[in-house]
Structure 1
Amino acid sequence: MADGRMTAAAFLVAELRRARTRRGWSQDELAKTVNYSASMVSAVELGQQPPTAKYLELVDRALDTGGLFGRMLTELVSLDKAQVWLRGWRTILSEARAIRWYECRYVPGLFQTEAYARAVFEAGDLLDQDEVERRLAERMDTQVCLHGDRVLKVVVVLDEVVLRRCVGSRKTMSEQALHLARIATEHPHVRLHLVPASAGEYPGLGGPFILVSEPEETELAVVSGQGRGEQLQQPAELRRLQQVWEVSLAAALPSQESIELLREIAESWN
């Protein structure tokens, strides 16, 4: 949503999901019918992968829609200036000058160790092993943006509780806390702040979000939950999240104290 209204691209994605569920099919069942992988169907329905004309032709045939989705692609989506799949997370990272990331659930993906990320994807056995491996490889590959020639400035505010909840094993948590401390100490363009549990209630607990500063002084926000992400660019929405960011940052410890707390947390998991 570039201006608070649903774009044609987002509408197409939503209608693809609705059409499949109305038929009573799972993503796996649709994938088998159109001869694509289930991960491809999932990526399209999450707005992470652009549906090709061929894909939509097969979906139209499978769901007997009379070519509806193909026509939506050629006649409506092509008019969009902000197609959801053209503004995927990796694209945003590749263009961003700086990001401010608040998290109260998990360690941000850019800073997850491989063991921690694997535990996240394997939780509850909801994903088959091939999908776990695909997502894990993608997450690790995304972290390259922190080490390239292009300068990406990152400020993270992370709730301490995230590192007190065991994800994977105690060893995984200890290594993850030390990894964060190492990045915060050694990376010249990353600042990390922990909000201590003693801070009590503060606005950030309403949910995670990322504020992205783009070229030409433009900004957008990314909010996420349960595997879905939404991009916000309306001034009122951005102002509200910027205010939440400022209050949450004020509740956090300074950088050096945060690093010391990370090391204490790592030791507590040993």
Structure 2
Amino acid sequence: MDRALQTGGLFERLLDNLVRTDQSPVWFRDWLVFEREATLIRWFDPSIVPGLLQTEDYARAIFAGSRLIDDEEIERRVGARLERQEVLNASCPPDLLTIIDEGALRRPIGSPEVMAAQCERLLQCAERSTVRIHVVPTTAGAYAGLAGPFVITKGDEFEVAMVDTPWPVQVLHRRDAVDSLIRRWEAIRGEALPRTQSIDLIKEVREQWQT
């Protein structure tokens, strides 16, 4: 099919993605395909560090902290999250633009050592040319991001969004819904610190966790 339609290997990649996501919940598999095929990912979270940038210990503390799943399920979810992060190590990784609320950096998840390591991971990721991290300072007060986390992925032939909730995530395909989240993204970005100041703030928080 790829040869006949000259898709550049799209169907082969989709098949590979479907095989790799077979252990994921049915409602999440479509999103994982979009994530792996994306050329641009815009990710905002007011509560925690975005999943693609989490350390293993931070991710484990997040899942364990819910007290809703057993140890086996925790480890399965941690493994799945680490596997998703491999998209950033692809030969042609997507551009990842993330905006994090300062409160997420200061919220104690796990231990001070876990938080210090997580801040260090953010600083390391920010050195990549394909990753940009911005922080909304607490001084911003009320802003558009308080409504909750969301992700927007864009590929050569699609632009879809995901709204994260305690229930199965909502994957939005409608153009008006995606455009609405893009406007929200721009409003949040307007409240975020520039890249250099965001990095300085992450360093400051890292040092506080280390003391």
TM-score (norm 1): 0.67
Structure 1 unaligned segments of length 5 or more: list them: 1-39, 49-84
The number of aligned residues is 188
Which has more radius of gyration? 1
Match runs of 1:140-159 below 5 Å: 140-159=82-101
Q: Does 1:257 align with 2:197?
A: yes
Query: Does the C-alpha gap of structure 1 residues 227 and 135 become closer, same or farther in structure 2, counting only changes over 3 Å?
Result: farther
TM-score (norm 2): 0.85
Report the CA distance between 1:205 and its aligned residue.
1.0
Q: Secondary structure at the match of 1:225?
A: coil
> Using the alignment, how far apart are the partners of 1:118 and 1:214 within structure 2?
30
Q: Does 1:226 align with 2:156?
A: no
Report the CA distance between 1:220 and its aligned residue.
0.9
2:9 — aligned with what? none
Residues 183-224 of structure 1: CA distance to partner in whole angstroms, max 9, x if unpaired? 11x2110000000001111111101111111213x3111111
Residues 70-110 of structure 1: CA distance to partner in whole angstroms, max 9, x if unpaired? xxxxxxxxxxxxxxx4x1x3211211111111110111110
> Using the alignment, how far apart are the partners of 2:174 and 2:48 within structure 1?
27
Q: Which has the higher contact order (CA 8 A, sep 6+)?
A: 2
Q: Secondary structure at the match of 2:116?
A: helix
Report the CA distance between 1:227 and its aligned residue.
5.2
Query: Does the C-alpha gap of structure 1 residues 98 and 124 become closer, same or farther in structure 2, counting only changes over 3 Å?
Result: closer
Structure 2 unaligned segments of length 5 or more: list them: 1-22
Q: Does 1:189 align with 2:171?
A: no
> Using the alignment, how far apart are the partners of 2:205 and 2:160 within structure 1?
33
Ranges of 4+ aligned residues in structure 1 off by more than 4 Å: none
Over the aligned positions, Cα root-mean-square deviation in angstroms equals: 1.5
Report the CA distance between 1:231 and its aligned residue.
0.8
Match runs of 1:39-50 below 5 Å: 43-44=25-26, 47-48=27-28
1:57 — aligned with what? none
